[in-house]
Amino acid sequence: MGSKRWMLSNGLGELVSAEAAKAGRFVDLFSGSAAVSWHVATKVDVPVLSVDLQTYSAVLAGAVVLRTRGANPSRLLDIWLEGTGNLVNEPAVRGSHSSSLSRARILRARRECATAAGAITRAYGGHYFSPAQARAIDALLGSLPAREPDRSVCLAALIWAAARCVAAPGHTAQPFQPTTTALASIAEAWSKDVVQIVKQVLPTIARLSAVTRGDVITDDATNVATKLTCDDLVFLDPPYSAAQYSRFYHVLETIARGQCSAVSGVGRYPPAAERPSSRFSLKGQALDALQILLDRLRMSECRIVMTFPQQRSSNGLSGESIVQAARGPFEVDITSVVARHSTLGGNNSARAARRSSQELIMVMRPRTRSRGRSRTRA
C-alpha cells in the first residue's frame, strides 16, 4: 500500500501542497491507500474529497479527512480490545507459527478454517493469514467501536495491520502456496502478531487529522468528474495495470466491508460481482476511459496534477500517450522524477514486485476556450 508515499517526500508532496493551497478543494480521484489525501488534508487548509472504486480506500481516507481533531489512541485501543472480551490476548488468537510449519499443517489449517464462523477466517484462514491471525482479525472486526470517527480509525488500523501480515508477495492476488521453497515465507508472515501491529499503527492514524473537514466517495472517478468545478484541484493517479486492482486488494476490501460471499480459486477471490471493475485496467479501453475523464474535467474547468509511469504500462497507457491525450483540452507542464512504485505485475519489462521506474508528474491547466464561446460549469 501507499504507492505515492515515497514520491510525496520527493517533490510530489510540495507540489500538491502548493497547488492545493490555491484551490477551493483538493480532489483525489483514485485515492487508493489515501497517502496523497492524508498528505494534503493534514497540511493544507482546504477540504479533501477522496474518491475510489474500493471501499477499503474510503475507510483509509475517511479515518483522517473526516476528522479535524486527533483521537486518543490509548482510549480507542482500550475500548476496542476490551470489546473482544480479551479474546485477542488468548494464545489461540495470538499463537506463533514461526517454527514447525509444514505443508501438512498448512493444509489442515485450511480445512479447519473453511467452516469457521468468522468471515475472514473462513475466506482467508490458512491462506493469507494463519488461523490465529484470521481469528484475531475477525474478533477485532466484531468489536469495532460503533461511534464514528472511532470506528473508521480502528478499521483503518486493522486494514493497515492486515496488509502487513498477509502471506503473499506484496499484495493479495495470490497467497504463498505451501511448497518447500515458500514455507519460510509463510512462516515469517504467520509469525506476525496482528494485535501488536494494530497497537503500533493505530496511534499514527489517530494522531493525524484534517485541517479542514473533507469527504469520501466510493464511486467511479468519471461520474464524480462531472460534479466538480473550477475551484477544484484534481489529483490523478489512475491504474497502470491491465489487471483489476480489486484482484490485488480483495482481502483488504473484505476486511473493510466486514464480509464477502463464498471465495474461490487459488487467490480466494470473492465473486466478480463483489469486485469493482475499472475500464482503466482494460488494455483496449484504458486510453478511451482516460480521454473521457479528461474531457469531463475540462468541462468542469478543473486544474489537475497527474502522475504516471513514463514507460508503457500493461494497460497500454504511457506518460507520452497521456500527455498527447491531455494536450488538446489542457496546457500540460511536465516534471519528471525517479520513483519507486509497485508494478502489481503490470509492468511490461519485469515481474518484480517493486522496481525503480521513471514517473512523470504533470500539471494541467484547462485551455481557455476560443472567443464567443461561454465558459460553463458542470
Ligand X SMILES: C[S@@+](CC[C@H](N)C(=O)[O-])C[C@H]1O[C@@H](n2cnc3c(N)ncnc32)[C@H](O)[C@@H]1O
Can you give the binding site for ligand X, defined by CB under 6 A?
2-4, 30, 32-33, 35-36, 51-54, 57, 220-221, 237-239, 245, 278, 280
Q: Which is nearer to ligand X, 60 or 88 (CB)?
A: 60
Closest distance between ligand X and the C-beta of residue 271, in Å?
18
List beta partners, residue 356: 340
Q: Which is nearer to ligand X, 49 or 77 (CB)?
A: 49
Round to the nearest angstrom and report the end-to-end CA distance of the chain: 33
Closest distance between ligand X and the C-beta of residue 222, in Å?
6
Instruction: Compute CA distances 127 → 165, 250, 266, 345, whole Å.
Output: 12, 13, 9, 20
Closest distance between ligand X and the C-beta of residue 378, in Å?
17
Closest distance between ligand X and the C-beta of residue 177, in Å?
26
Q: Which is nearer to ligand X, 57 or 172 (CB)?
A: 57
Shortest-Cβ-distance residue relative to ligand X:
32
Closest distance between ligand X and the C-beta of residue 117, in Å?
30
Q: Which is nearer to ligand X, 33 or 300 (CB)?
A: 33
Q: Max alpha carbon distance in the chain (Å)?
A: 77
C-alpha grid cell, residue 62: 475517511
Q: Which is nearer to ligand X, 75 or 283 (CB)?
A: 283
Report the alpha-carbon distance of residue 47 to residue 213 in Å, rounded: 6
Q: Which is nearer to ligand X, 27 or 51 (CB)?
A: 51
| Rounded (5°) CA angle 250-217-315 | 50
Which residues, 6+ apart, have CB-to-CB distance to 353 below 8 Å?
169, 170, 171, 342, 343
Closest distance between ligand X and the C-beta of residue 93, in Å?
30
Quickly list DSSP for 62-124. HHHHT-SS---HHHHHHHHHHHTTTGGGSHHHH---SSS--HHHHHHHHHHHTT-SSHHHHHH
